[in-house]
Amino acid sequence: MRVPRAGSDRPLTGRNVPYGLNWGELSLITHRTLEPYNNRIRDDLMAGIFAFTCSCCGEVHEGSPSFAYRAPDPYLTQPEEVQSAGELGTDLCRYTDEDGEHYFARTIIEVPIHGVDEPFLWGVWASLSLESFDHYIETSDQPEEGRSYFGWLSNNLPYYQDTFPLAVEVHPRPDGQRPFLVLHEVEHEFFDDFTNGITIEKAQRIAEIGMHGETKDESRRLIEEAHSHDFASADWPFDDPVNLATFTTKYIVENRHPLMLITHDEEGDWQFLCGTTNNSDDVKISCFGCIYERHPEIAEFSNLPRGWLAWREDENSPWIREEKQPEEN
């Protein structure tokens, strides 16, 4: 996974979450019991005023939702030898790959819930430049007042589309509290929610997805809800709706891997694949328009008939179009 560079140094009121800067074994956030979510995200028991009856498991959950990641997404996509040569602790992470050295700090970001005192809390990782990373460690006991660091949000949150990488400000805090994040302004649903807050109903929906995973039907419904794109509607080259749910892989969505195979199924579904995996766990559902934003070259396939596919040998090879062969029974 290619990680954006934090570059040179470039705020949310945070609750106290005790921690220490160390490279040791993973520890649990105080007063929280964390469990894995899709091998990366972990959810906790909720305590406070917010409460709902889960539509998935039927249990009553009390308190504002709080989720935490054990590691940055880019670190977990690295091969075992890169991870082993790097370091992952409760609050810091670093590793070296073919693109160079990468540095991360564990942080928190809060999203207000309308009518509820406690916010929706995310424990996430942010990438930092080496200069910022070193300064953060050196001043962790007594952070410089008003000092913040530019970074990139380094986890993809459930429900939202592509939160990795969103630009952030990392604000250290004194007295053993984890830094808090402020998102840079951007046209993105997560920024809107961070700025304006979310309804209790939306908080419940996100919490249920975080605890139980997201079904394909739920993915389609969320994606096909209207949201904006960076291109004018007149520039949309396809006859299909711009928010149509399409099938792709995590390597296309997260890694920006080049497209190697495009299929237009008989039923009208589109698939945009990387050709590197057949694992169902790697399947992602993505908005058609969001795929087009990353890969505007797909415009040339707007006339690809149903039942046809296009493929290429490698990133520099020409595309070949052909009719799909019937599957053998």
Mean pLDDT within 284-308 = 89
pLDDT one-digit tens code per residue, 208-259 = 777 766 544 555 454 445 567 888 888 999 998 888 888 888 888 776 688 9
User: pLDDT category, 277, cuts 50, 70, 90?
Assistant: confident
d(CA 319, CA 261): 9
Select from 173, 224, 158, 134 the least CA-distant residue to 16: 173
Q: What pTM, to 2 d.p., does this model score?
A: 0.57
Given this model, what pLDDT does residue 46 score?
Answer: 37
Given this model, what pLDDT does residue 106 score?
Answer: 94
| Residue 65: pLDDT over 60 | yes
Mean pLDDT within 299-316 = 92
Given this model, what pLDDT does residue 18 score?
Answer: 29
Given this model, what pLDDT does residue 58 score?
Answer: 63
d(CA 6, CA 151): 5
- Domain boundaries defined on the chain: 35-212, 227-323
